[in-house]
Amino acid sequence: MSANVDTIPLVHMISDTPSETVFACASSVEAHMEDFLSKAGLPSNLLDAVRYSVLAGGKRLRPVLTLLSCDAVGGRRADAMNAAAAMELIHAFSLVHDDLPAMDDDCLRRGQPTLHVHAGEAMAILAGDAMMSLAFELVSGAHGDDKARCSAVTVELARGTTSMIGGQVYDTLGGFPDGMGDRERLELIHRNKTGALIRVACRIGGICGEADAKQLDALTRYGEAVGLMFQIVDDLLDVTQSSEHLGKTAGKDETAGKLTFPSTIGLERSQAEVQRLLEVAREAVAPLGEPAGGLQELAGYLAVRTK
Amino acid sequence: MSANVDTIPLVHMISDTPSETVFACASSVEAHMEDFLSKAGLPSNLLDAVRYSVLAGGKRLRPVLTLLSCDAVGGRRADAMNAAAAMELIHAFSLVHDDLPAMDDDCLRRGQPTLHVHAGEAMAILAGDAMMSLAFELVSGAHGDDKARCSAVTVELARGTTSMIGGQVYDTLGGFPDGMGDRERLELIHRNKTGALIRVACRIGGICGEADAKQLDALTRYGEAVGLMFQIVDDLLDVTQSSEHLGKTAGKDETAGKLTFPSTIGLERSQAEVQRLLEVAREAVAPLGEPAGGLQELAGYLAVRTK
């Protein structure tokens, strides 16, 4: 059987349930985070708050991308585990802070009360902060990874996190360069707010798997396409699905008057853009062959997910 | 003239104005931060907010400790400049978040309106977050430093930041281990909230200056003594000085019913503890000789500072 991507059954690629492989790799990251957090020496109430936010479910998209990207370049998952856990901590921190009353003021996340509702606003601010510093400890080299690789991963993680925060600023507070139209602004928001961390999740997985320049470039292009696609699907779900189904408040973007793909280019063109980006993502990692099968499958799932 | 610490004039050691040497090294860190921030690609409003918080003055104690610790082990200041700037960014982030309405709800800092008063609460949360990720970029190795050293510095910075956040949790939300008395709780708060980052500032300076194990141990003991001393002096100033003089709200600890050294062991014993810790700090770095003159002088200033 050839290693060509076309041998992967299409039915897997467009399934709206990720396969067991994807689930299995998410649970290994959860176990790793659980172990790391229990040894981090946090005050008991802070540990509870971090665990509440981090271990309460979610798709684990970013750490899964990291592990699958490591697979895709023939690396060992064990070498990417700290980086994968760090990706999820950064993502979880951003959700906790974005949900705060002064920000999106949201009370529901992953089907549970948001952290500031559960543990108070001061704790939500501090637990979010701690998740970020814990993430940087994970990739710092404190836990036995190769030092030069840790440095490269830390560069990616730091820049990705700053870009994500910048994206949230654009989305909620403006600060755009002069003369940008709505479509340009929308892409700038998404490229930073969601895209940067998804791109970095893929690159970090590649770096941990000792990708060469060509492989890293393929993962980068995959991550960029999947990142933008993810956000367009998110915008579409916000319009088309219920809060109960999503486990978070639906219809929020419209209420808040936010720039979204459906509001800027319409539902149909948004859906077409998802299909186009899926193709870009699949083609980007096609040269990596069979080891990139996980990434192929995940992209397909992300294009048709309903939550 | 011998390199013995006793040759440094005592009048310098107990001056309440830091010498020109200390001022000069603070301004080099400011210039370095200014340059780094201007190239960080932040949205314009986020850049303004970060600059407002970071470049509005302050003692620059932590970066100065980093540079003087590098001096003390015979290192080159240029090798510690990124780490010094990172220390200040972490400190500034913690002030911005601690001042938030849901936390200490403070409106005055360094003689200016706090960031959430100046730019709104959402921006204060996001700018604080960005300062942390920018700090980790600075020490990541993205800016030409030795990779193995960057890894060691990142470990210290990440753990110090997490400890600082834990200290703020203890101080404002509890979460203490069972069975601790007031004095033990107070030391736990201070060792984490202020002490951890000051200790790390010294250790990082040593690491950047290629300290050997004995030198790093001396800097660690110095940092621990100075860190606790700094906080006791802070507690004393909160009782004895005006808001106008401090450039931040005075008398706050008592109003908030916080555990402080004066409230736990009394004014006189607090002052005696400052003197004792000054001696511990001076003795710790005495074996490093003349290169540790800056640290000797700084410790003396910190014991008698009035703001």
| A125: nearest CB among B97, B163, B177 | B97
**Percent of chain A scored above 90 by pLDDT?**
74
Is residue B14 domain-resident? no
Whether the predicted pLDDT of A5 surpasses 60: no
pLDDT of the residue at A238: 86
For residue B79, what are the domain limits? 19-304
Q: Residue for token digits 């950064």?
A: A90
Domain count, chain A: 1
pLDDT of the residue at B54: 94
Residues of A in contact with B170 (CB under 8 A): 43
A258 — pLDDT class (breaks 50, 70, 90):
confident
Is residue B12 domain-resident? no
pLDDT of the residue at A143: 84
Cβ distance of A45 and B158 shorter than 8 Å = no
- d(C-alpha B295, C-alpha B201), whole Å: 12
pLDDT of the residue at A195: 96
| A169: nearest CB among B43, B133, B150 | B43
Whether the predicted pLDDT of A14 surpasses 50: no
Which of the pair, A229 or B248, is modelled with greater confidence?
A229
Residue of B nearest to A105 (CA): B122
Residues of A in contact with B43 (CB under 8 A): 166, 169-170, 173-176
Is residue B2 domain-resident? no
Buried b (16+ CB within 10 A) or exposed e, B223-261: bbbbbbbbbbbbbbbbbeeeeeebebbbeebeeeebbbb
Is residue B285 domain-resident? yes
Is residue A94 domain-resident? yes
Cβ distance of B148 and A147 shorter than 8 Å = yes
Interface test with B, best of A104, A137, A138 (most B CBs within 10 A): A137
What is the pLDDT averaged over residues A220-234?
Answer: 95
pLDDT in tens, chain B (307 residues): 333 434 443 333 445 565 666 667 899 999 999 999 999 999 999 999 999 999 877 889 999 999 999 999 999 999 999 999 999 999 999 999 999 999 999 998 888 999 999 999 999 999 999 999 999 999 998 888 888 899 999 999 999 999 999 999 999 999 999 999 988 999 999 999 999 999 999 999 999 999 999 999 999 999 999 999 999 999 999 888 766 666 666 667 666 777 889 988 999 999 999 999 999 999 999 999 999 999 999 999 999 887 7
Cβ distance of B137 and A150 shorter than 8 Å = no
Cβ distance of A148 and B152 shorter than 8 Å = no
pLDDT of the residue at B5: 39
Mean pLDDT of the residues in chain A: 89
Instruction: Please name every residue paired with B109 in a beta bridge, in sequence order, or none if there are none.
Output: B112
Query: Cβ distance A122 to B103 under 8 Å?
Result: yes
Cβ distance of A45 and B168 shorter than 8 Å = no
Domain CATH for B199: 1.10.600.10
pLDDT of the residue at A245: 67
Cβ distance of B123 and A161 shorter than 8 Å = no
- d(C-alpha A236, C-alpha A265), whole Å: 12
Whether the predicted pLDDT of A39 surpasses 90: yes
CA B277 to chain centre: 16
Query: Cβ distance A289 to A7 under 8 Å?
Result: no
Residues of B in contact with A163 (CB under 8 A): 41
Name the nearest CA neighbour of A273 among A194, A187, A163.
Answer: A187
CA A145 to chain centre: 23
Whether the predicted pLDDT of A41 surpasses 80: yes
| B132: nearest CB among A45, A132, A173 | A132
Cβ-Cβ contacts under 8 Å between A and B: the total is 178
Is residue B98 domain-resident? yes
Cβ distance of B126 and A173 shorter than 8 Å = yes
- d(C-alpha B47, C-alpha B222), whole Å: 35
Cβ distance of B133 and A161 shorter than 8 Å = yes
3-class DSSP state of B109 = strand
Whether the predicted pLDDT of A3 surpasses 70: no
Interface test with B, best of A136, A143, A153 (most B CBs within 10 A): A136
pTM of the predicted model, to two decimals? Answer: 0.92
Query: Cβ distance A288 to A218 under 8 Å?
Result: yes
Q: Which residues are within 8 A (CB) of B68 and not within 5 positions of it... i.e. 6 or more apart? A: B22, B25, B205, B292, B294, B295, B298
Q: How far is A151 from chain B (nearest CA, A)?
A: 5
